[in-house]
C-alpha cells in the first residue's frame, strides 16, 4: 500500500489489512478495541497486541494522532491536523468540535524547546433529565 510506503513503513500483510479497515472510511476516532472488533467481523485473524502495535507504528509514522482524553484509553484520530475535541464523559466517545477554535495567543515554549503539538479536549456530560 502506497500510503504505508510514503510514511516510511514496510507494508506487511497485517499492516495492509488493518490500514484497509482503518482508512476505508472517512475520518474517525478509533480505539484498538474497536479496530480489533472490526477485524474479527472482517474475518481477519489478529491479536489485540498486533492491533495496538500497528496503531502505534501508524502514529509514529504520522498517519494517525493519538488522543488520550481521560489518561487511560487512547483514541486514534485519522485527522492529524490540530483541532479540538469533545469527550463525552461516561459514554467514552470522542468527537471533533465542528467550529474553528481560535487561541488569542499561543504560549511560548521553554528556552531550547519548540511546541510539537497542541491538544484541546473539552470534557462534557449529558445533563441529568428531570423525571
Radius of gyration of the chain (CA): 17
CATH number of 2-67: 1.10.10.10
**pTM for the whole thing?**
0.85
pLDDT, residue 24, reads 87
Phi/psi at 20 (5° precision):
-65, -45
pLDDT tens, 14-71?
Answer: 999 999 999 988 889 999 999 999 999 999 999 999 999 999 999 999 999 999 998 8
Amino acid at each position: 500500500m502506497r500510503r504505508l510506503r510514503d510514511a516510511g513503513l514496510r507494508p506487511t500483510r497485517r499492516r495492509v489489512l488493518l490500514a484497509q479497515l482503518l482508512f476505508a472510511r472517512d475520518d474517525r476516532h478509533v480505539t484498538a478495541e474497536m479496530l480489533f472488533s472490526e477485524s474479527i467481523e472482517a474475518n481477519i485473524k489478529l491479536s489485540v497486541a498486533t492491533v495496538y502495535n500497528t496503531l502505534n507504528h501508524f502514529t509514529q509514522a504520522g498517519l494517525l494522532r493519538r488522543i488520550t482524553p481521560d489518561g487511560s484509553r487512547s483514541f486514534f484520530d485519522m485527522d492529524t491536523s490540530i483541532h479540538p475535541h469533545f469527550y463525552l464523559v461516561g459514554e467514552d466517545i470522542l468527537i471533533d468540535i465542528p467550529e474553528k477554535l481560535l487561541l488569542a495567543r499561543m504560549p511560548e515554549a521553554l528556552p531550547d524547546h519548540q511546541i510539537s503539538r497542541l491538544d484541546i479536549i473539552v470534557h462534557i456530560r449529558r445533563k441529568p433529565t428531570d423525571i
